[in-house]
Amino acid sequence: MKLYFIISIFSLVGACSTTKYTTKLENIKNDILVNDSTIVTSYANTITANELKTHLYQFASKDFEGREVGELGQKKAVNFLKEYYIEQEIKPGVNDTSYFQYIPKTYLPKEIKASENVIAYIEGSEKPEELIVVSAHLDHIGIKKEEIYYGADDNASGTVAIMEIAQAFKAAKAKGQHPKRSIVFLHFTAEEVGLQGSKYYVENPVFKLDNTIANLNIDMIGRVDEAHKDHPNYIYIIGADRISKELNYVSEAVNKKFYNLNFDYKYNEEDDPNRYYYRSDHYNFAKKNIPVIFYFNGVHDDYHAPTDTPEKINFELLEKRTRLIFSTAWYLANQDHKLIKE
Ligand SMILES: [Zn+2]
């Protein structure tokens, strides 16, 4: 009797939350279906393989010396991003005055010099205090034994994806189609030395974490791993359903409507021995109970090797994956309610 009583309470709670959740999902479903899809696709289509390629060949060039945190190459990389945002007329994110969030040497592991995150910002029209953070780390591992580690996939691919996503949102804003919520473009430093840039950000947030609706984090999206070499139309999706099932729903609905990539959830398993969920910058947001998606192509022979070079990037696929992430951010920024955390 007691046991049954407990069970019935549980099933009652379960039933209530399911109903509420389904109703919300129906609303979103309608939003996504009813929303004029020509608008989002017209801006998504400004993201092109050619522009991604141009940016990536610069960002993963010799000149940037593998972008080791605190070193000359990394400083060149952050200035490159700053110049880009100035040229695109996209505002600085740090108190409206600076693109750099400085991280002191004392915060970072021993031997590592002071460094900076790069933050740019497009203000929302209706709920400017609420925001979507689109992020990717900009640093890599530098020069070792006189060899440059170019990090074309890790993570020039994510970096240039953000540059193009920012440009697409800016193009929308220029035509009066502002996102309702604000979008923050966050390039983290010091990921390769233990996710330090994102850890610093969540401990010293520039925008309130309570108002941060979601973090879409991109780390390696330009290549195809061994498991998908015959079917390269894929992306690994990690973490999307852990804090907000609704986020996972939006992510899938946008993909089904526009892109039809195969979402591989292998690395989203709780018992995944690789523990990728804990291994890139989104995890510092997840720890603060902010819904996250980690976009990832999996590892390959060139992972953390000097052979991770630009000519191995699949730019058509990078374009498609970047458009997917832009469109997902678009719906999250424009939907009528905040994501439900359950
Ligand atoms: Zn990485």
Per-run averaged pLDDT (10 residues), the chain, 342 residues: 37 44 61 72 96 98 98 98 98 93 96 97 96 98 97 98 98 92 98 96 98 98 98 98 94 94 97 94 98 97 97 98 97 90 88
Ligand 1 geometric centre to CA of 151 (Å): 8
Task: Give the Cα separation of 159 and 218 in Å (integer).
Answer: 8
Residue carrying structure tokens 């976009």: 295
**Do 123 and 235 meet the contact criterion of CB atoms below 8 Å apart?**
no
Ligand 1 geometric centre to CA of 266 (Å): 19
Ligand 1 geometric centre to CA of 174 (Å): 32
**Do 184 and 257 meet the contact criterion of CB atoms below 8 Å apart?**
no
Ligand 1 geometric centre to CA of 220 (Å): 6
Ligand 1 geometric centre to CA of 138 (Å): 8
Ligand 1 geometric centre to CA of 144 (Å): 17
Task: Give the Cα separation of 197 and 190 in Å (integer).
Answer: 5
CA 223 to chain centre: 16
Structure tokens, 55: 């940016």
- Distance between start and end Cα atoms, the chain: 30
Task: Give the Cα separation of 177 and 174 in Å (integer).
Answer: 7
The fold adopted by the segment(s) 36-298+310-318 is Aminopeptidase (3.40.630)
Ligand 1 geometric centre to CA of 74 (Å): 14
User: Residue 252 corresponds to which amino acid?
Assistant: E
Ligand 1 geometric centre to CA of 155 (Å): 5
Strands (E) in the chain, as ranges, are: 91-92, 100-103, 115-122, 127-137, 143-144, 147-148, 181-188, 212-218, 234-238, 262-264, 292-296
Residues with CB under 5 A from ligand 1 (ion): 154-155, 219
Q: Is the peptide bond before 155 cis (omega within 30 degrees of 0)?
A: yes
Ligand 1 geometric centre to CA of 141 (Å): 10
CA 126 to chain centre: 23
Residue 289 phi/psi, 5-degree rounding, is 65, 35
Ligand 1 geometric centre to CA of 154 (Å): 5
Ligand 1 geometric centre to CA of 280 (Å): 7
Ligand 1 geometric centre to CA of 299 (Å): 10
Structure tokens, 266: 């292998």
Ligand 1 geometric centre to CA of 273 (Å): 18
Residue carrying structure tokens 């049954």: 4
Ligand 1 geometric centre to CA of 97 (Å): 28
* Of 90, 268, 264, 81, the residue nearest 156 (C-alpha): 81
DSSP state of 242: T
User: Residue 94 corresponds to which amino acid?
Assistant: V
Ligand 1 geometric centre to CA of 191 (Å): 7
DSSP state of 339: P
Ligand 1 geometric centre to CA of 103 (Å): 19
Residue 72 phi/psi, 5-degree rounding, is -55, -45
What local confidence, expressed as pLDDT, does residue 1 receive? 27
Residue 79 phi/psi, 5-degree rounding, is -70, -35
Q: Is 56 exposed, middle or buried (0-12, 13-18, 19+ CB in 10 A)?
A: buried
Ligand 1 geometric centre to CA of 192 (Å): 7
What local confidence, expressed as pLDDT, does residue 178 receive? 85
**Domain boundary assignment for the chain:** 36-298+310-318
Task: Give the Cα separation of 333 and 323 in Å (integer).
Answer: 15
Residues 6 or more apart from 193 whose CB is under 8 A from it? 69, 108, 109, 112, 139
Ligand 1 geometric centre to CA of 218 (Å): 8
Neighbours of 261 (CB within 10 A): 18
* Of 317, 28, 52, 66, the residue nearest 166 (C-alpha): 52
Ligand 1 geometric centre to CA of 258 (Å): 27
Ligand 1 geometric centre to CA of 294 (Å): 11
Buried/exposed 159-184: b ≥16 CB within 10 Å, e otherwise: bbbbbbbbbbbbebbeeebbbebbbb
What distances in angstroms separate CA 112 from CA 69, 71, 101, 196, one per listed residue?
A: 7, 9, 16, 11
